[in-house]
Amino acid sequence: MNNKVRFGLGFGFVGLLAGTAGAQSFTELLRAGDNVPGASTLVTRIDDVDVNTSGDYLIELDSDGPTTEDAYVIQNNTIIWQEGTSTGFTAPVGYVAGSYVDSMDINDNGDVLLTFPLTLAGSTSSAQWVMVRNGVTVIETGVTPCNAPGLPPGTFYSGLAEVWQNNNGQLLLGANVALGGTGNTSILLRVDVDSLGNIVSETKVAMVGETLPGHPTFIQGFSFSKGRQAINDNGDFIWYVDDDNNPPGSTLVDSYMYINNTVLFNEADPFPVAPGEVFDHFSTAEVDINNSGDWVFSGFDRRTGSDDSWIFKNVGGVNTVLAHEGEPVPASVPGAFFVAGAGFGGIVPMSNNGDVLWYLD
């Protein structure tokens, strides 16, 4: 979600950002070697964090506890999920939480969204997956039907890849479905839920095997990485799709970035901030969209070498370069350095004011 900061530091320190760029303060929350809040184990690793605009935070961590129960999710110093247990959700009979959380998100209302595998109690093998919001299971793979218009009767969710939530009960969901009860087809959906976690509507955005309007070939796949899609509070979403590259398709024109149902860019389009250049592939791009419909893009033009990676934003229809590989670093960074470009990846959160959090290498 564009209003939040999401980052992890491998050495086990998590900080909260506050104030303006020139007046930051940092508060240490947890580090390796600390006691896990509410448990008799010690933190050994911090795997992921998320924080909303109120400063409410989530931390996914590993500990020195028994290997089948050593992973936790902490919300504001309280355990809300633990591997090998049913902490924080109602587990199906005979099942417990698996060894990790795949998606973890807290929005500005404090709604917590988790996706994770289940295992049979006493086993370490993943059996199925659940998506849990505020302790309520929204989707259980192999069980929950997918009723999006255009799908055949008997279709159910067969996999969960990634999910993005806004502050209004709207989810952008990358998943797999068993069409008519068979197969495992990748799909992108807009799912709306009520305050109790019940699904109230499902809309198919795109699905592997279908051909989008104006495209020469069918959809080959998506890339459901956290930073490659986003949804704002108006329900507008930015997303990536990759088509089949066999004739009449081509590897030079087969990937697209969309906002809702409108093409934002094809990979062969002119690069907006590099005259004479075109986009390269979008398979490693990172994007975000705010409530004004402004967006940010981190990715590549088609040159090779040391000047092909960029971060730029579009605010009110105006493109502004934030970083370009090979150019001097921003004036606020001390020293006569140049942007190396590597390490842009991950996420590029954008606020409703058009500010962007990004990583400089």
Q: For position 123, what pLDDT does the model report? A: 79
Residue 152 lies in a domain: no
Q: How far separated are the first and last CA of the chain, in Å rounded?
A: 24
Q: For position 343, what pLDDT does the model report? A: 57
Give 173-188 pLDDT, tens digit per residue.
999 999 999 999 999 9
Q: Are residues 104 and 229 in the same domain?
A: no
Q: Are residues 14 and 121 in the same domain?
A: yes
The residue written with tokens 């508060």 in the block is: 27
Residue 284 lies in a domain: yes
Burial class (CB in 10 A: 0-12, 13-18, 19+), 213: exposed
Residue 153 lies in a domain: no
Q: Are residues 219 and 333 in the same domain?
A: yes
Q: For position 5, what pLDDT does the model report? A: 46
The pLDDT confidence band at residue 22, using thresholds 50, 70 and 90, is: low
Q: Are residues 122 and 216 in the same domain?
A: no
* Least confident piece of the model among 9-13, 30-34, 330-334, 357-361: 9-13
Q: Are residues 216 and 304 in the same domain?
A: yes
How far apart CA 3 and CA 68 sit, in angstroms, is 35
Q: For position 345, what pLDDT does the model report? A: 59
State which residues form the domain around 117. Answer: 1-137
Choose one of 95, 121, 137: the last residue of a domain. Answer: 137
Nearest by Cα to 288 from 239, 359, 349:
349
Q: Are residues 117 and 220 in the same domain?
A: no
The residue written with tokens 């997918």 in the block is: 146
Q: Are residues 67 and 216 in the same domain?
A: no
Residue 185 lies in a domain: no
Give 281-318 pLDDT, tens digit per residue.
899 999 999 999 999 999 999 988 788 999 999 999 99
Burial class (CB in 10 A: 0-12, 13-18, 19+), 302: middle
Q: For position 346, what pLDDT does the model report? A: 76
Give 310-343 pLDDT, tens digit per residue.
999 999 999 999 999 988 888 888 888 888 865 5
The pLDDT confidence band at residue 10, using thresholds 50, 70 and 90, is: very low
Nearest by Cα to 291 from 195, 168, 197, 202:
168
Q: For position 332, what pLDDT does the model report? A: 82
Q: For position 25, what pLDDT does the model report? A: 79
Choose one of 115, 137, 159: the last residue of a domain. Answer: 137
Q: What is the pTM of this model?
A: 0.91
Residue 327 near residue 341, CB atoms below 8 Å: no
Considering Cα of 75, then 77, then 83, then 89, what sign does the dihedral take? negative
List beta partners, residue 117: 129
Half-sphere CA count of 341, side-chain side, radius 13 A = 15
The pLDDT confidence band at residue 344, using thresholds 50, 70 and 90, is: low
Q: Are residues 40 and 125 in the same domain?
A: yes
State the chain's maximal CA–CA distance in angstroms.
62
What residue type is 146 in one-letter code?
A: C
How far apart CA 174 and CA 226 sit, in angstroms, is 10
Q: Are residues 41 and 123 in the same domain?
A: yes
Residue 38 lies in a domain: yes
Residue 203 near residue 148, CB atoms below 8 Å: yes
Q: For position 23, what pLDDT does the model report? A: 56
Q: Are residues 114 and 225 in the same domain?
A: no
Residue 173 lies in a domain: no
* Least confident piece of the model among 2-6, 12-16, 71-75, 95-99: 12-16
Nearest by Cα to 238 from 214, 213, 262:
262
| Mean local confidence (pLDDT), 87-104 | 96
Cα 289 to Cα 93, 149, 231, 305, 359: the distances in Å are 40, 26, 7, 29, 18
Percent of the chain residues past pLDDT 70, beyond the cut: 92
SS3 state of residue 91:
coil
How far apart CA 322 and CA 333 sit, in angstroms, is 13
Residue 94 lies in a domain: yes
How far apart CA 309 and CA 280 sit, in angstroms, is 10
Q: For position 151, what pLDDT does the model report? A: 98
Q: Are residues 218 and 348 in the same domain?
A: yes
Residue 27 lies in a domain: yes
Is the pLDDT confidence value at 17 over 50? Answer: no
Is the pLDDT confidence value at 351 over 50? Answer: yes
How far apart CA 160 and CA 143 sit, in angstroms, is 13
Choose one of 96, 111, 137: the last residue of a domain. Answer: 137
The pLDDT confidence band at residue 20, using thresholds 50, 70 and 90, is: very low
Count the residues in the chain: 361
| Mean local confidence (pLDDT), 211-229 | 96
Give how many domains the chain has, as a whole number.
Answer: 2
Q: What is the DSSP letter of 228?
A: G
How far apart CA 222 and CA 3 sit, in angstroms, is 24
Q: Are residues 246 and 126 in the same domain?
A: no
Please state, rounded to an integer, the average pLDDT across all residues of the chain.
Answer: 91
Is the pLDDT confidence value at 361 over 90? Answer: no
The pLDDT confidence band at residue 4, using thresholds 50, 70 and 90, is: very low
